[in-house]
Amino acid sequence: MSRTEHDFRQRPESGRRRTNRQEPGRRNGSGRRPEGQRPAERTQRNRGAQPARRRRKRRRKQAVKGLLLSAVLLTALLVLGAAGFLHYLKAADAKTMYAALYETEHYNQDQYQGELFAPELCVAAGDVVLNGFDGDPTLHAAGLFDVNQKQVLYADRIYDELYPASTTKLMTAYLALKHGNLEDVVTVSETAVSFVDPEASLCGLQVGDQLSLYDLLCGLILHSGNDNAAVIAEHIGGSQEGFVEMMNQEALSLGATHTHFQNPHGLHEDGHYTTAYDLYLMFNACIQDQRFIDIISMKSYQATLTGMDGSIRTDEWPASNYYSAGLADPPAGVNVIGGKTGTTDQAGSCVILYNLDSTGRPLISVVMGADNKDLLYSDMSQILSAGTAGS
């Protein structure tokens, strides 16, 4: 037996060196490739794991930053809220101290006392029955107002929005009296006499005519001249459109909140409307000026006009309301001073009047939407008779 063989036999199994050699491409018992084998594959795995670790690290950093930012914002909100609360407490204390000081200094002193709008006007919540007059359902609206007692004696649909026709000219007259100089000499423009509506009531003004504002006003109120209304509008408002703006503003200032004008004369337009009550408000404002009462009390007016060629002529403008014209008799005990009429197909026949009963009590009466003039004045006389019975 050779030495080599002897040594081999004597070497125990436990002392033998165990190797992990395996054939290339084979796995060990753990299922992993032996260390030292395939370095390229291990390097590739390590490289693939690095981005994942970096992403996890970035997410942790971002989460920490988010928490820090939330904490800073919460702290800022708390600080601002505390500061606002302290400011509120200081302001409340200051107001309380000021109120106490003001009360101490001004107690028992008279303060400003303004006048209410309604106490100077007749006001009704709705319809008001008038003993002695059963009403006329064919009318659009009607009313009777006691000027001195500020009392609505009769009301039938006085808040319904209706077409006013030439009663519109009440506002035109009111603004002329308020803003105009009645001695002004006014020249008639071409646009002021360009009426093609067959319903237009005219005083016969011609382009280039010159006449006083007072003449124009008399023709407007008594004879209901649409041409006069247009000339006045251009003189006072600079243009008819500018004057209409003034009319609407003045209506609001008088409390006529259900009125809207689109022209100064009242020829029909769909957006041109008022109410019987608003007409009362405008008429009531007009009679505060004695010049208005003086004009409506006339039976007619003779105007002097100078033509474009310098020629002078006179025109007679009679009153349009039947009482002033002698075409209708007022009831016994009633003096009809005068007023304003208006008629279009859409509005029907309308009239608003200033009257005095036998004791001198002033009354404003209005009828809107009668089918014809005879019915208009018949109903008006019945309302005046019933409203003045016993006076």
DSSP string, 47-61: HHHHHHHHHHHHHHH
| Domain coverage including residue 212 | 119-387
Dihedral pair phi/psi, residue 358, rounded to 5°: -65, -20
Q: What is the pLDDT of residues 9-57, one digit of tens each?
A: 444 444 444 444 444 444 444 444 444 445 555 555 555 566 777 777 7
DSSP assignment, residue 168? G
Tell me the residue type at 90: K
CA-CA distance, 378 to 156, in Å (whole number)?
16
**What pLDDT sits at residue 3?**
46
- Whether 291 is covered by a domain: the verdict is yes
> Is residue 247 situated within a structural domain?
yes
Q: Starting from the edge strand earliest in sequence, which strands make up the sheet with 348-356, in order?
A: 151-156, 141-146, 362-370, 348-356, 335-344
Q: Is residue 368 part of a domain?
A: yes
Furthest-apart CA atoms within the chain: distance in Å = 173
Is 93 among the domain residues?
Answer: no
* Residue 325, in any domain of the structure: yes
How many structural domains is the chain composed of?
A: 1
The answer to the question of residue 29 being in a domain is no
The predicted structure's pLDDT at residue 58:
77
Does the residue 216 lie in any domain? Answer: yes
For 104-135, write each residue's pLDDT tens digit: 565 555 444 445 456 689 998 999 999 999 99
**What is the spatial distance between Cα 299 and Cα 212, in angstroms, rounded to a whole number?**
20
Residue written as token pair 């702290």: 75
Q: Which two tokens stand for residue 333?
A: 């005990």
Q: Under DSSP, is residue 13 helix (H, G, I), strand (E, B) or coil?
A: coil
pLDDT at 49: 62
Stretches where the chain sits below pLDDT 70 are 1-50, 91-119, 391
CATH (domain of 296): 3.40.710.10
Active site residues: 166, 169, 224
Residue 92, pLDDT score: 63
